[in-house]
Amino acid sequence: MDYQELAVEFHKNMIRLRHGDSHKHMEEGMRGEGFVLGFLSDQPDGCTPGAIGNAMQVSSARISVALEKLEKKGLITRLMDPEDRRKVTVNLTEEGRRITQHFKTEMNENTARMLEALGEEDALHLVRIIGKMADLHKKEDCAFRPPFPPPPMHGPPHEHAHGHGNPHRPPFRRPGEQKKGNADE
């Protein structure tokens, strides 16, 4: 099997999928304000802005902007810890819970229709394969990372502990390639 040809076909199909209207709505919920609301809905006791930023892998400044917009819309509250004024806990309001539940229900219904259109066998395979890809992607030395780091968001290039502009993502290494300065691995 020619995996290079298959990779080209895979990327073409992903581009086609991304240009569909239904995917745009799902993608909006997976990033930005939709992601924050979904993340908070899984945190019954609320969480810190830092925890949200870590989950989204974005800067604290970007999280602050999103939280400010959500607070103005009445969807979240930010409460300062009376004993440590530096600590803030973010929670959904009742309206935030209602909107988030509506979005999750709508997203699940749309996904169920798509899976049903695929048929039972293909739907089961798709879910299994996406789960397997997610597991492979989590491995530190996974070969599925891009061969170049993402460009920095602002200012000159800088390096973090992992050697590139994203402190949450280890550098790309090809299968069998060793970490620099550690010949025992």
**Residue 61 amino acid letter:** A
- How far apart are alpha carbons 53 and 141 in whole angstroms? 23
pLDDT of 57:
84
Nearest to 32 by CA among 12, 50, 52: 52
pLDDT of 90:
95
CATH of 21-138, one of 3.40.390.10, 1.10.10.10, 2.40.50.140, 3.30.750.24: 1.10.10.10
Roughly how many angstroms between the first and final C-alpha of the chain, as a whole number?
A: 30
* Domain ranges for the chain: 21-138
Single pTM value for the model: 0.61
- The total number of residues shown for the chain amounts to 185
Tens of pLDDT, residue by residue over 95-104, are 999 999 999 9
CA atoms within 13 A on the CB side of 124: 2
Q: Which residues of the chain have pLDDT under 50?
A: 29-30, 156-166, 172, 182-185
What residues contact residue 157 under an 8 Å CB cut-off, 6+ apart? 151, 165
pLDDT of 28:
53
- Tokens at 155, concatenated: 């200012």
